[in-house]
Amino acid sequence: DVKVTQSSRYLVKRTGEKVFLECVQDMDHENMFWYRQDPGLGLRLIYFSYDVKMKEKGDIPEGYSVSREKKERFSLILESASTNQTSMYLCASVVRIGSPLHFGNGTRLTVT
């Protein structure tokens, strides 16, 4: 069974802090994604990666960056956290293009 693990379930950070959200998958998937979920807006794609050291912007990349140094790990970075980045962040991976995504349990980030 595919396991996508997000390192933190809850995080509280201050405005201006640099924040790292970590995601690890154990199925050797090449494709990994970061979404954020907000009430009334559904899930919106921030960044995705098709291979190590490769990244592409999603629909809402502003204020975020990503790092994919190893195949199993995909990190989301908030360079300078702001209150409008308070959200549920969801990481996902997929075995091949066109297959359903497997999601982690999410990290609820609060920026004060």
Q: Could you give phi then psi for residue 85, rounded to 5 degrees? A: -100, 5
Measured in whole angstroms, the distance separating CA 99 from the mean position of its chain's CA atoms is: 18
Task: Note whether 103 binds other proteins by CB under 8 A.
Answer: yes
Task: Note whether 97 binds other proteins by CB under 8 A.
Answer: yes
In order of 11, 60, 78, the CA distances from 47 in angstroms are 20, 8, 12
Q: Are residues 66 and 49 in contact, defined by beta-carbon separation less than 8 angstroms? A: yes
Task: Note whether 100 binds other proteins by CB under 8 A.
Answer: yes
> Of 44 and 73, which has the nearer Cβ to other proteins?
44
Site for other proteins in 43-82 (CB under 8 A): 43-45, 48, 56, 58-59
What is the contact surface with other proteins in residues (CB under 8 A)?
Answer: 4, 9, 31, 33, 35, 40-45, 48, 56, 58-59, 90, 92, 94, 96-106
